[in-house]
Structure 1
């Protein structure tokens, strides 16, 4: 609000029957005192001011505040609000008419309500939704239905996902766990790891000054590796991750092989697995972070996953896996060598189908734009590669896999579009499939 704006508003109100005045730096000290005296005597009904009344003025009779200027300072917001919060015998409540919040798309209700209540973002959202049930005795805040919807929508749309926003949130909360940070801010774990420049949870704590320990030689590599694990959503892998991060060697097995390729990537052979575990354990801060990540991922599991009846591989139907993890589960020692969406593993007698449902010309050639899709909840249409005919060895294996005692496994994802530092999406394991029928010579469908 400018001085000109204040003078315009005072003139407009006065012309419309509400005696008003503008108290600005253009009015000398004696003039300001005269206007305040007239206001206390109720000769003036409204005073318009620019910054002069933020503090140091005692006007307990004020029962209405018009907010006509934006401010990004929570302190100034509280000071302005405080002009009307003084008790007075003739005042039953304070009415605040805010003409800014609904006009500015960048208005931050979260900062205002947090400053007002002292609560975290999560607590503020709950308070708005539940009509502020925990205010001190004698205090009451009421939002009508539309106002409540506007505030809640604003709280969700202004989540501090930028680097500076995350730093500010953690600085306010202090030395909390990852789970507490996400709970109090309303953020997702991906928001902490989306930007590689932050360096994950430990990196964020270092930026705030909470973690001052020196980074080891593998710190940056482990920060990237944690990003590749955020899709994990079954208890078997999360339990193993927590145990390994606690410096426990689980012995071996395909689950550990899957974890190895998640941490190190396909370029690092399995023969280096134990050596890499020792390097992980030499980074205690990242191990602690991994344990917290495992806890957060476990708490957010919302999909029931079950082990296939065969139990030959440590996969769970409806859990998500990277392609490297899926291949390692079937004993493939070099999953990075897989370049196509299908893989036959002779030792396991298993065909793996990796399907992306939404394909774009940017990522797929015209010959690989297969129209794979779910027909029903138990029937899936899958198109084989254009070079595979029904009479070929591969085609015959697909068609007669039941008689030949081989298995077909379907992994599905919606898109392959990468999410920044989060990388490409993982696949959902749809489970073992059973051939139903096919049409044409070079396309076929399967059902589970």
Structure 2
């Protein structure tokens, strides 16, 4: 008897959802029997169910009332498909119902998947689940037995007609009312920090250990920053604390959080606001408005620990006055959006110490926010945006105001549905006029909605937000332009409509973020994006991909794999037309052209309140911001790029100073940093005369857990240009001198720093380099050679990061470079078409765990190098593998990706030797796809 069997688990390689969707698209009929169906899982199967209906493929679904876990709403939705019959097994106390079986019929065989997964989002995508798939001929005994069992269950189950569903729904509502949730005794000492909070607390401890007095934590709204601060306070144990924020409702919640986490410390807590004047307590929670009137009533060093929530407001005059008055031992700032205001830079305010930064993808991974189900839907044909400039809002508005489009949006909205009983939806529009039109049209069609924009008073906004959040109020939609991009918190929002062309990944992420706040009554957010044919559609892919550093190839792979790298239950689905449209645009676009870079820059400038972003750190403010290194690569320094695109005379004059310009280029050439030691040393020397190895070690340990002294010495030697070749020495300014174990500044560099305008820009490069390093490498120590798995590197980096003591630029050329027993294999998977090699290289992945590599033509097995390669483990030789798909993309040399060390396990032939290498780290699925899928 022929059986095909496989185990399906949810991992970064596969999940049950993918298998079900494939099977539904290929089968001639299907039969499901699952204990639970809830809407979070069903929504992910709506499109395959619809396709089955269109193809005339029939299905049967049995579910149950077991544990009252099935949604009545999910049953109602299934009933909308006339190709699916639905029955419900009604359970009682004696008989439970716990099947999880998915059966697909083909021409002469069946596929049966039996295991642990119900139809819920987590069971289909992210839970630890085991499901066994068996494919067998229709006459196999196993298949006959499965079908017989299914049919007997079918006979035994009740038809899910309208009366049945209404009764069941009424029953569920009655339980909800009567069973007040079980109260569980909870010892407050057992509330433990999540991963994000732990990392933040560790980093705050390390900064304080090195006498730093301020730090900033950047994390998305709803990720638990207040709890994190309370955990840190619990550890620090200040006798007096001041917590400042600008809104009273945030303050009350913060005070409650601290009271919960610090119940037995004998502390008193009080509010200092317009309504409360509790000043004589240990921990004061104050609004800035009230505090700024009475702060001098407190002693300057009254508070040991000061916390500023929503810290991006702290650059305003009222905050600065208060902060300049107090002298606490430690100040913590917390913000979701560290955007810069006219009055300054929030990073500077906290001494450029970022203890933690959590962006959207990390928040999803750590389950700090709820998952979202994104559906990219091709807009109706009659809306043509192909010839409109993305900034021509009036014309875009005119073309979007189409009644037929409103009907189409409503049709899709009703099809995909939403989580929970009441729809609470934000619709993001292109302009005020567009938002007013949408609200009017929806109201005409019987949907209760309002339009909100910048002219509405805070009071009006608050009133409408409260109405939307109220389950008993009929308001379901707020159409808006961009007042909800940031800073407005509506936790129970369960739907977002993207009704305008996306012209910025930043705005897209901010709008998406409005619905991701955790809330007791929702388990996911539904996002419907109506994708038109304007020429910037591919920006959606940039936003969803979650990586600030991308190239054409990685974007295309993300699209064709349905953004498989997105964590948890989040689901991203684009229809075929949108996918093809975006892929075509990506193919046409040159991401390194001046035209593209200028568009990216000016779009970012617009979000910067129209101010020229003179500083690199401006790009650290927003999730989805452009990567300014691309601007540096174009013009050798960021200021040169800005001067060019802005035609900025003031900047051009500044750059006339040859020493200043050369200094900017020299420092910029090290970005992005691959190790942080050099920039930490430079940062110290900006305000000090000299530095020795011990002092440098101290400074470096503020950022990372460990560092070896030889690497610090190598960093000193690098800063002294010991490893530059003669051409580099001629063309680059010498900024540092190493004498008798101490590093000092050259006269040239001192003169540059004496000019405060110049110094500001030098500091910016150093600060940006360090911040970005912290973001990408965290606080880990990577040893020597200093490589991080799956990070990008160029050949010359291997010399620098393995403390090579000769000219680093000589580290080029053949695919194998060596520093002692460290062997670096640089591998192109696709050779340049035009290079006629005398040999066809066979470098390729055999699997996620094995790689086949060929040595250069001249290598024999008997040579020293040959022996070191084929017996690397016995000879103590480390083989480091660096791989890239293409040597060049869009005319620019591509970096290699470090996939870790490997060991030779088989070899054959010589001149070249073909070696099979077992990798020490299995390549993650998303990266493996990137290397191996052809688009």
Question: TM-score, length-normalised on structure 2?
Answer: 0.30
Stretch moving more, 250-259 or 378-387: 250-259
Per residue, is there more strand in 1 or in 2?
2
- Separation in 1 of the partners of 2:722 and 2:896? 12
Q: Is residue 244 of structure 1 aligned with residue 682 of structure 2?
A: yes
Q: Is residue 444 of structure 1 aligned with residue 914 of structure 2?
A: yes
Cα displacement (A) at 1:240: 3.5
Stretch moving more, 250-259 or 261-270: 261-270
Q: 2:658 maps to which residue?
A: 217
Q: 2:817 maps to which residue?
A: 343
The residue correspondences of 1:123-272 to structure 2 (distance < 5 A) are 124-126=507-509, 128-129=511-512, 146-147=528-529, 156=540, 161-167=596-602, 169-170=604-605, 173=608, 174=611, 178-181=616-619, 183-184=621-622, 186-190=624-628, 192-193=630-631, 196-197=634-635, 199-200=637-638, 203-204=641-642, 212=651, 214-215=654-655, 216-221=657-662, 228-232=669-673, 237-247=675-685, 249=691, 251=693, 253-256=713-716, 267-268=727-728
Cα displacement (A) at 1:414: 0.9
- Separation in 2 of the partners of 1:266 and 1:210? 35
- Separation in 2 of the partners of 1:334 and 1:377? 35
Cα displacement (A) at 1:439: 1.0
Contact map agreement 1:222 1:263 (CA 8 A) in 2: no
Cα displacement (A) at 1:333: 1.3
Cα displacement (A) at 1:288: 1.9
Cα displacement (A) at 1:195: 6.0
The residue correspondences of 1:39-438 to structure 2 (distance < 5 A) are 72-74=391-393, 78=431, 81=434, 117=483, 124-126=507-509, 128-129=511-512, 146-147=528-529, 156=540, 161-167=596-602, 169-170=604-605, 173=608, 174=611, 178-181=616-619, 183-184=621-622, 186-190=624-628, 192-193=630-631, 196-197=634-635, 199-200=637-638, 203-204=641-642, 212=651, 214-215=654-655, 216-221=657-662, 228-232=669-673, 237-247=675-685, 249=691, 251=693, 253-256=713-716, 267-268=727-728, 274-275=736-737, 278=746, 282=752, 284-298=759-773, 300-301=775-776, 307=782, 313-318=784-789, 319-328=791-800, 329-338=802-811, 339-345=813-819, 348-362=820-834, 364-367=835-838, 369-405=840-876, 407-415=877-885, 417-418=887-888, 423-428=893-898, 430-431=900-901, 433-438=902-907
Cα displacement (A) at 1:317: 4.4
Cα displacement (A) at 1:412: 0.8
- Separation in 1 of the partners of 2:833 and 2:439? 65
Cα displacement (A) at 1:326: 1.1
Structure 1's unaligned 5+ residue stretches are 1-65, 96-112, 135-142
Q: 2:423 maps to which residue?
A: none
- Separation in 1 of the partners of 2:663 and 2:531? 41
3-state SS of 1:189 partner: coil
Cα displacement (A) at 1:229: 3.9
Stretch moving more, 396-405 or 331-340: 396-405
Contact map agreement 2:604 2:625 (CA 8 A) in 1: no
Change (3 A) 1:417 1:368: same
Contact map agreement 1:169 1:185 (CA 8 A) in 2: no
3-state SS of 2:838 partner: helix
- Separation in 2 of the partners of 1:225 and 1:386? 38
Contact map agreement 1:193 1:227 (CA 8 A) in 2: no
Contact map agreement 1:353 1:411 (CA 8 A) in 2: yes
- Separation in 2 of the partners of 1:125 and 1:322? 32
3-state SS of 1:289 partner: helix
- Separation in 2 of the partners of 1:295 and 1:415? 29
Contact map agreement 2:887 2:894 (CA 8 A) in 1: yes
CA distances 1:341-365 after superposition (whole Å, capped 9, x unpaired):
22344xx344332222332233x54
Change (3 A) 1:219 1:196: farther
Contact map agreement 1:342 1:351 (CA 8 A) in 2: yes
- Separation in 2 of the partners of 1:182 and 1:161? 20
3-state SS of 1:181 partner: helix
- Separation in 1 of the partners of 2:663 and 2:839? 35
3-state SS of 2:914 partner: strand
Cα displacement (A) at 1:250: 6.0
Contact map agreement 2:842 2:854 (CA 8 A) in 1: yes
Change (3 A) 1:287 1:422: farther
Cα displacement (A) at 1:373: 2.8
Cα displacement (A) at 1:385: 1.4
Q: 2:10 maps to which residue?
A: none
Cα displacement (A) at 1:228: 4.7
3-state SS of 2:728 partner: coil
Question: TM-score, length-normalised on structure 1?
Answer: 0.57
Contact map agreement 1:201 1:289 (CA 8 A) in 2: no
3-state SS of 1:410 partner: strand
Cα displacement (A) at 1:268: 3.1
CA distances 1:60-92 after superposition (whole Å, capped 9, x unpaired):
xxxxxx9999674447865855986999xx998
Contact map agreement 2:604 2:626 (CA 8 A) in 1: no
Change (3 A) 1:226 1:336: same
User: What do you get for the CA RMSD once the two structures are aligned?
Assistant: 5.1
Contact map agreement 1:262 1:325 (CA 8 A) in 2: no
Structure 2's unaligned 5+ residue stretches are 1-381, 398-430, 452-478, 487-503, 518-524, 544-594, 694-711, 739-744, 753-757, 921-935
3-state SS of 1:366 partner: coil
By relative contact order (CA 8 Å, sep 6+), the higher-ranking structure is 1
Contact map agreement 2:723 2:805 (CA 8 A) in 1: no
Contact map agreement 1:225 1:263 (CA 8 A) in 2: no
3-state SS of 1:357 partner: strand
Change (3 A) 1:344 1:169: closer
Contact map agreement 1:194 1:420 (CA 8 A) in 2: no
Contact map agreement 1:417 1:424 (CA 8 A) in 2: yes
Contact map agreement 1:438 1:444 (CA 8 A) in 2: yes
CA distances 1:84-136 after superposition (whole Å, capped 9, x unpaired):
6999xx998689xxxxxxxxxxxxxxxxx9975495856742454256899xx
Contact map agreement 1:179 1:292 (CA 8 A) in 2: yes
CA distances 1:232-260 after superposition (whole Å, capped 9, x unpaired):
45xxx125324324436565523455677
- Separation in 1 of the partners of 2:718 and 2:891? 21
3-state SS of 2:895 partner: coil
Aligned pairs, number? 344
3-state SS of 2:904 partner: strand
Change (3 A) 1:253 1:203: same
Change (3 A) 1:125 1:378: closer
